[in-house]
């Protein structure tokens, strides 16, 4: 892991997926969820999921013209979880969701799709 990967873990993750995508893998035994019998298909699903999330985040930033923190963006994402709204999410789920949103925002910033600035020790994202 390079020094910049700590600031952009999603980029590191994508690079790892690219490395293993060319390997013929018959069986994946993940630490959680189901056994994977088609690694290439699963990698494609993961990349597609993240691309959909990038599109959703850019849409969120376009709709709300204000600069936003990761927590604010996370609260507007459509999460696949059984709660009616963000207010009902358990605190730990909000923490995980905010971390995921932050990694997507940092990736989008690193490829020049969005901008960021520091404001009173907070990172704010915008288009």
What pLDDT tens digit does each residue of the chain (127 aa) get?
444 556 788 999 999 999 998 888 889 998 988 999 989 999 999 999 999 999 999 999 999 889 999 999 999 999 988 888 899 999 999 999 999 999 999 999 999 999 999 999 999 999 9
Euclidean distance between CA atoms 89 and 83, whole angstroms: 6
Determine the longest span between alpha carbons in the chain, in angstroms.
50
Q: Are 57 and 105 in contact (CB under 8 A)?
A: yes
> In 1-127, which ranges are E strands?
115-119, 122-126
Euclidean distance between CA atoms 113 and 121, whole angstroms: 22
- The domain defined by 3-126 folds into Arc Repressor Mutant, subunit A (1.10.10)
Q: Are 75 and 126 in contact (CB under 8 A)?
A: no
Candidates 103, 89, 104, 11; CA nearest to 53 is 104
Annotated domain spans of the chain: 3-126
């Amino acid at each position: 892991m390079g020094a910049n990967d700590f600031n952009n873990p999603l980029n590191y993750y994508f690079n790892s997926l690219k490395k293993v995508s060319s390997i013929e893998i018959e069986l994946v035994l993940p630490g959680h969820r189901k056994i994977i019998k088609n690694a290439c298909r699963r990698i494609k699903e993961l990349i597609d999921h993240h691309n959909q999330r990038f599109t959703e985040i850019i849409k969120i930033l376009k709709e709300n013209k204000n600069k936003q923190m990761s927590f604010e963006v996370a609260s507007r994402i459509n999460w696949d979880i059984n709660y009616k709204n963000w207010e009902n999410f358990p605190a730990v789920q909000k923490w995980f969701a905010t971390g995921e949103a932050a990694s997507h925002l940092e990736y989008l910033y690193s490829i020049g799709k969005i901008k960021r600035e520091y404001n009173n020790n907070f990172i704010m994202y915008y288009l």
